[in-house]
Structure 1
Amino acid sequence: MRFGFHTGYWSAGPPAGAAGAVRAADELGLDSVWTAESYGSDAFTPLAWWGSQTNRVRLGTGIAQLAARTPTATAMAALTLDHLSGGRFILGLGASGPQVVEGWYGQPYPRPLERTREYVDIVRQVLAREAPVTFSGRHFTLPHDGGTRLGKALRSTVHPVRSDLPIHLAAQGPKNTALAAEIADGWLPAFVSPALDAEYRENLETGFARRDAARSPRGEFEVSAAVPAVIGDDLETAADQVRPHLALYIGGMGSESTNFHREAIARAGYRDVCDEVTAKYLAGDKAGAAAAIPTDLVTDVALVGTPSDITTQLARWEASCVTTLILQTDPRMLPSLVQALH
């Protein structure tokens, strides 16, 4: 089992202690550091800024949103960061949801799996640098079919450090999990429960069965799960720090009808809980929504409690398909958490 550190989303500004935690992740021997974006800070800039102070830890976007950049712009950023980091970059991509894609980026959301497939194809063409990039799909056309009619197929001026730079896909539903196994080098799930490991493996197998032989071997495929982690004096005290986080993602992320985070947790056997949390959250009762999160749900998707509690909980993850636990924790807590995990 490998471990990573997730810097999380920014709120009004950079998260306190994040820069120091990224340096600590490098010094403590963690596998990777990840950044996020939604509709505030972007994923690439903090990774480059904080990552410049590291030497060995891998640097991943977790996740860069497809709608935020054209496929070629994303490939350019990936090429650049891989050079600057000496080949340590991981391109984590995700479709996000309709509220952000249509509300923030002003783009249509339907057919996200098809759009993801086309997007990754173009990024891989840029990274391979075997020929000028061309593409004709439902969502992307290169060169552009219209305008001045002067567009021409181009090849990146930059030679890649790695033409096989790893691309990981964020996914929570069965179909997009299978897509990750089919076309990507890794899966970035959130709100994973080891109790559903058999289901996750089945979804991945569906994708592996369609995987191109030219892709990286399935034995090298990574599953890097973002997991809230809190050390406390006792399990309940630590769980209380995770409950508001879960309530936000269940009740406040997405709309009442479309929330992929809520669906992932509901599939783990908590549909009634999700309905109650959503109703309270949308009614403005955020404290009540957090209080409605049972401890069993917290321990299903998070690492919480005393060092002994966390060691016991870790065994379930080690037996799962997860290869890396990306710790979502207070940056100041990272060293003690890593000590407990080892």
Structure 2
Amino acid sequence: MRIGIQTGYWSRKPPKGIVPALVAAEALGLDSVWTAEAYGSDAFTPLAWWGSRTRRVRLGTGIAQMAARTPTATAMHAITLDHLSGGRFVLGLGASGPQVVEGWYGQPYRRPLARTREFVDVVREVVARERPVTYDGDFYRLPLPADTAGATGLGKALKPTVHPRRREIPIVLAAQGPKNVALAAEIADGWMAGFYAPKADAEHRALLAEGFAARSGSRSPSSRFEVLATVPAVVRDDVEAAADVIRPHVALYAGGMGSKEANFHKASLDRLGYKDVLDEVQELYLAGRREDAARAVPLELVEEIALVGPAEKVQRDLARWDGTALTTMLLQGDPASVLTVLAAAQEREATTAGRVRSRAGSLLARVAPRKA
């Protein structure tokens, strides 16, 4: 299992200590660094700025929101960063949710799965640079037809002036709902989970296998398909104190990211068996009682989705992810905690003679539902 760093999106201002942590982590064998965006900092600029201080790690958007840019503009970002990084770029995409898409970008949040299919199609066509880009979809039409309201009729099919470094840039889809997870396995090169819990591994494998079975053409499933998940990490001597750092994060996503009617993050956590307690967390959060909402998040839930506690406990807890479909763990936390977990992971790898890193066999077999 590879280890990456999820820097997330900024809060009030740029986070401190990212570059020294990345340099130190790269020396320890870090696989990748990922950035995010919501409605503040964007995903591409920090990745280019911080990534320029690294030489080997992969650089991924985790995630870039599709509503923020056209697919052709997104492909331009990808081609540019792939060149500047020497072919280290990974394009992570996500549909976000109606709160952001309609509230921030002013676009209707309808048929997100169908829109995702079209978006990925156009990005791949741009990057392939085989011919001028044309597309006739329900959401994206290139060139814009002359009979479209407000169109001049002067649109021309184009292809990028820049020759991409690679004909294919890996695309990872962020997804939480069952249909979205299956879609990622069907059309993308990887799936990025929001809240990944080892105990739900069989469910994840079944959804991925469903998507692999629906693949068509030359894009067959292989051992190169990635399964990534952001795992918060807080190394503290006191487990409850460490969990207290994570609880507000869980309360925010379960209570405030989305609405009571549509919150994909809460639904993902509900499926882990915490619906009743998370209903309470959501009620408290929406009532403005954010501290109470955080306190209502149980330690058991935090330990399902995060690494918390003393270094020795964290090292033991890493074993829960062994043998799951997860191929890349994206650590999120303060630099000291992240580096501690990375070092622990490297130590585990050394003591198991490379078993954790093994890439043998097809991932299709790995994600097939396990027999009882």
Task: Tell whether the structures are fold-level matches, with TM greater than 0.5.
Answer: yes
**2:325 maps to 1:321:** yes
- Shift of the alpha carbon at 1:211? 1.2
Contact 2:212 2:220 in 1 (8 A): no
Determine the C-alpha separation between the residues in 2 that align with 1:68 and 1:24: 33
User: In structure 2, what is the equivalent of residue 31 of structure 1?
Assistant: 31
**2:80 maps to 1:76:** no
TM-score by length of 2: 0.90
Determine the C-alpha separation between the residues in 1 that align with 2:161 and 2:290: 51
Tell which deviates more after alignment, 216-225 or 319-328. 216-225
Tell which deviates more after alignment, 174-183 or 304-313. 304-313
User: In structure 2, what is the equivalent of residue 181 of structure 1?
Assistant: 185
Where do residues 174-323 of structure 1 align in structure 2 (5 Å cutoff)?
174-215=178-219, 217-323=221-327
Where do residues 146-165 of structure 1 align in structure 2 (5 Å cutoff)?
146=148, 147-165=151-169
Amino acid at match of 1:237: A
Where do residues 42-121 of structure 1 align in structure 2 (5 Å cutoff)?
42-121=42-121
Tell which deviates more after alignment, 108-117 or 235-244. 235-244
Counterpart of 2:8 in 1: which secondary structure?
A: coil
- Shift of the alpha carbon at 1:11? 0.9
**2:131 maps to 1:131:** yes
Tell which deviates more after alignment, 82-91 or 300-309. 300-309
- Shift of the alpha carbon at 1:333? 2.9
- Shift of the alpha carbon at 1:336? 2.1
Determine the C-alpha separation between the residues in 2 that align with 1:301 and 1:333: 16
Contact 2:274 2:301 in 1 (8 A): yes
User: In structure 2, what is the equivalent of residue 17 of structure 1?
Assistant: 17
Counterpart of 1:219 in 2: which secondary structure?
A: coil
Determine the C-alpha separation between the residues in 2 that align with 1:211 and 1:310: 38
Contact 1:167 1:186 in 2 (8 A): yes
Counterpart of 2:223 in 1: which secondary structure?
A: helix
Determine the C-alpha separation between the residues in 2 that align with 1:142 and 1:100: 26
Counterpart of 1:15 in 2: which secondary structure?
A: coil
- Shift of the alpha carbon at 1:258? 0.9
Amino acid at match of 2:47: L
Q: Which contiguous aligned blocks of 4+ residues in structure 1 show a shift greater than 4 angstroms? A: none
Determine the C-alpha separation between the residues in 2 that align with 1:89 and 1:27: 19
Unpaired segments ≥5 residues, structure 1: none
- Shift of the alpha carbon at 1:19? 2.4
- Shift of the alpha carbon at 1:207? 0.4
Determine the C-alpha separation between the residues in 2 that align with 1:273 and 1:328: 24
Distance change in 2, residues 1:8/1:298 (3 Å):
same
Determine the C-alpha separation between the residues in 1 that align with 2:131 and 2:37: 31
Contact 1:25 1:57 in 2 (8 A): no
- Shift of the alpha carbon at 1:216? 5.6
Counterpart of 1:220 in 2: which secondary structure?
A: coil
Counterpart of 2:131 in 1: which secondary structure?
A: coil
Contact 2:25 2:342 in 1 (8 A): no
What whole-Å deviation, never above 9, does each CA across 1:266-289 have from its counterpart, x for those lacking one?
011010011010011111111111
TM-score by length of 1: 0.98
- Shift of the alpha carbon at 1:25? 2.7
Q: What is the root-mean-square deviation of aligned Cα atoms in Å?
A: 1.1
**Matched length:** 342
User: In structure 1, what is the equivalent of residue 352 of structure 2?
Assistant: none
Counterpart of 2:321 in 1: which secondary structure?
A: helix
Determine the C-alpha separation between the residues in 2 that align with 1:8 and 1:323: 19
- Shift of the alpha carbon at 1:313? 1.4
Determine the C-alpha separation between the residues in 2 that align with 1:51 and 1:166: 17
Unpaired segments ≥5 residues, structure 2: 347-372
User: In structure 2, what is the equivalent of residue 337 of structure 1?
Assistant: 341
